[in-house]
Structure 1
């Protein structure tokens, strides 16, 4: 019986170990995502909070909030899927940086006028992330936070409601895929060794 090739065996075992490791990592990510979704579900039911320097915006995602925005701001557009385009302005609320506010949506990307500011009711959400996919791969920091106005402002169409269904948690299916890839790689290699021995 021929001995298995050492180099090829090491490569296959290393690949299998890597895939199993990725599967285990995805299982851990699934637990983290479940905890995050549970926290967000509690935020949705929480009482409205005032946006201040002391409020942890990332920890309060999807929580109802109110904020007073001083001064006017130019507006910009960002894609909103089936809702068309988001109309976003910056809110000067005494924070360390201006807080984006999604005023409402429009169906077509038409020019919008400046927003005069004022009181805003809504909920906290992730702001559109302008970083490239390559940059996001190496920069794991979360995207910025914004207030989604509810009711909408400036005569715009309604914003999408806070929707927990839109938060995917498919890490367990990814884990199953990695474990399946590892098993398939082992089966193919064993079959290749048997054919070589024959």
Structure 2
């Protein structure tokens, strides 16, 4: 348990470095080419990019908020970008209902962020995880939609200090239980 607590402290430092990288990425003004295949390297997340959506093949409305904090449904298009390949996810804006917008595709400029579907820990550990897809959040929403809020690098969770504290408390509790058990066994 102590080893797990120390590991979580190491993960905390790694996550702080990742968040710092994301913050540097957000400050960069130059655009990058959208990656061809997942997974998207951390060095490209929160960077400006653009992509050509030949046509949206599927819409995935999800809850979200606009740039002013008002709740709604994010309209995420799974776009075809060529004859083959995984395509690209594009958040084209926020609406108040589930009705997909009338849009046949086009060039979208925005910010690359982690996609809504990320593999679980179990999937990653068993090797059954599909590569995590990123998503492009459009700078300018489609007509009739509101601009989606772009997540900040500061929104990246870093709970590792709390996890380390939990493991150290578990170790302390196990030590106390062990001491009580030994004391009880040694009593005449």
Q: What's the secondary structure of 1:177's corresponding residue?
A: helix
CA distance in 1, matches of 2:40, 2:118: 19
Q: In the superposition, relative to structure 1, how do residues 48 and 96 fare at CA in structure 2: closer, same or farther (>3 Å)?
A: farther
Paired position in structure 1 for 2:110: 122
Contact 1:74–1:114 (8 Å) recurs in 2: no
Q: In the superposition, relative to structure 1, how do residues 189 and 53 fare at CA in structure 2: closer, same or farther (>3 Å)?
A: closer
- Length, aligned pairs only: 179
Gaps of 5+ in 1: 1-18
TM-score, normalised to structure 2's length? 0.79
- More helix, by proportion: 1
Paired position in structure 2 for 1:180: 169
For the aligned residue pairs, the C-alpha RMSD in angstroms reads 2.8
Paired position in structure 2 for 1:34: 16
Correspondence 1:36-185 to 2 at 5 A: 36-53=18-35, 57-58=40-41, 59-80=43-64, 83-94=71-82, 96-108=85-97, 110-129=98-117, 134-135=122-123, 138-139=126-127, 143-185=132-174
Gaps of 5+ in 2: none
Runs of 4+ in 1 over 4 A off after TM superposition: 52-56, 130-134, 139-142
Contact 1:63–1:123 (8 Å) recurs in 2: yes
TM-score, normalised to structure 1's length? 0.76
How far did residue 50 of structure 1 move? 4.1
